[in-house]
Every structure is written in C-alpha cells, then in structure tokens.
Amino acid sequence: MEADEVRFMWLMVFFDLPVKTKPQRRRASQFRQFLKKDGYMMLQLSVYARVCRGQDAVDKHIRRVRSSLPKEGSVRTLQVTDKQYGRMELMLGTAPKTEQVGPSQMVLL
C-alpha cells in the first residue's frame, strides 16, 4: 500500500441495553439515534456499522461512542477492514436497501 493510499475500515457497534422501564427505553432509543446521526447504518436491531476513512477516523468514532454510552447495558465495538467486511455473508433474509451487495464488497448507497 502506498503512503498516501487511504485504507477504509468498518466500525461495528454491538449493544445489549436494558429496556424494561420507560427511562431505559428512552436511553436505548437515544443511543440508537446517536448512532444513526453519526453515520451508522443498522445491520440488525442492536448491530450498527459505519465506514471510516483510516485508523484516525476509527479512533475518533470510538471516542464518540464512548462519550455517548448509556448508564447501563453492554456496548462493544469491532473494527474490520473493508475487504473483511465485504466477505460478510447474509444467510437469511434480505439486505437493507442502504446496502448493495457487489462482487467483492458491500457498499453504502
């Protein structure tokens, strides 16, 4: 890879937040809204992903997630390369219309 070539990375956020009480549901909803506003797309109910341009962008978005954490629950992040993300296989159902499955990768529309 050349020095000026940018490596695209995908940042995935997985979470399990309590939703038994009204305040808990509100916090879970606020966290989802934060992710959407920050450019994440929903892959599944509690799995969101966004593309980042390089490691600095990944680090920035991890800090943003950390600063928006709800009071309780479990939140995890995972970063993968664009190539690794493109090897994700959808086994049942259909991809959301925000995703387009191509020959080598999934691309945001």
Domain boundaries, the chain: 8-108
User: Do 49 and 85 form a contact (C-beta atoms < 8 A)?
Assistant: yes
pTM as predicted? 0.83
Place 3 in a pLDDT band, splitting at 50, 70 and 90. low
Q: 109 or 17, which is more confident?
A: 17
pLDDT tens digit string along 11-62? 999 999 999 999 999 999 999 999 999 999 999 999 999 999 999 999 999 9
Task: For residues 28 and 15, give the distance between their C-alpha atoms in angstroms, rounded to a whole number.
Answer: 9
16 marked as binding residue: yes
Topology annotation, domain 8-108: Alpha-Beta Plaits (3.30.70)
